[in-house]
Amino acid sequence: MKKELLMASALVGTMGVASVAEAVTSTISGHHRVGVEFNSPSGSVDTNNVTEESSFSVALTETTDAGTTIASSFMLQNEGGGLDNDTSLTLTFTDGTKLDIFNAGNAAGGHDVSVPGSAGEEGVTVTTTNNAPTGLDFFAGSTELGVEWHSAADFLADGLKVSVSASTDTGAAAVGTARADSHWAIGATYVTDAGDTAVTIGTGFSQTDMSNTGTAITSNENGFHIGVSAVTGDLTIAVGYGDGDDVNDDGTTVALANTQVDGEVLKAGIKYVTGDMTLQLGLVSGSAKDSDTQGTAGTTEDSYDKTSASVSYAVASGVTAILGYSDVDSSDEGANDTADGSAWYIGADMAF
């Protein structure tokens, strides 16, 4: 018995040492944001509420003897709760190229130009059937079974990076709500200097095939976006445009579950940093024609126009005070939306 205990202790000790020696390199980051939101809907009474958002991210990475880096990550969050691990396994090769596998995403969406807007958490809710897009890559769908390849820097030309992605059918049974069967996409980012100004141009195109058990939809998800960002010292100016077709679920019936959307969106913003203070201003204008039946083109328009601004102040290392404001004017099927309005936000973000 004594020998068995000694052998067991030695085995446990050996496994412990091995687990330390073979552990991948990990880093952690996250934030905790607390604030108060003041909402003023255009068609109902004002409301005030406290908001809290937290996240805890873990990044894992290790390098093989051949020089290939293997990386992945996951995040715990309280926005919606639970574990968010919709990240890929990323292989970075010695020539600078990268390959994302599993949950790789859509290459078009990875090359959006960042357009400034309010840094606050104020939210203005519009009618759920309003399908006017607000993001540049609103048409970029994909499945879990996908890969995305990223070029190294200076691909074919100085300052150019390119990504290509594709995904395939997961084999899940089709249902009334349209779902992505497969996709392919391409995106590119070009960075150059124009005197003292750093200019970034981002663009992407995506095509996603959809399926459902009802009447076949006549337009799959597809579209393109393009944007330009110019940074001169502490001043950033950016503008972006997206156009395409989307498929949304607006209800429980087969028709509403496959709303086809022909939309476009324009975004513009300015950011200026002065000392510990950051000023941001953003504009979003989206419009769409949608239909609640397959094959019938929409004739009336959904619209979404948002103006947002914020002032952020670095109170201490990792601590930022934020004052934000947003105003939204929207319409659904050509009629004024009483769910739009304005909102204020005041709060603080603590990041690590």
Mean pLDDT of the chain: 86
Residue with tokens 């779902």: 179
What's the CATH number for 33-171+178-351? 2.40.160.10
Residue 129 has pLDDT above 70, yes or no: yes
Band of pLDDT at residue 296, cut at 50, 70 and 90: low
- What is the Cα 83 distance to its own chain's centre? 17
pTM as predicted: 0.85
Out of 1-10, 32-41, 230-239, the most confident range is: 230-239
Q: Residue ranges of the domains in the chain?
A: 33-171+178-351
Pull the structure tokens for residue 231.
């940074």
Rounded average pLDDT over 311-333: 95
Contact call for residues 344 and 311 (beta carbons, < 8 A): no
pLDDT in tens, 167-220: 998 888 878 788 888 999 999 999 999 999 999 999 999 999 988 877 777 778
Band of pLDDT at residue 114, cut at 50, 70 and 90: very high
- Closest by alpha carbon to 52, among 30, 29, 34, 31? 34
Residue 82 has pLDDT above 60, yes or no: no
- Cα distance between residue 253 and residue 248, in whole Å: 12
171, burial (CB in 10 Å: exposed 0-12, middle 13-18, buried 19+): exposed
Contact call for residues 71 and 61 (beta carbons, < 8 A): yes
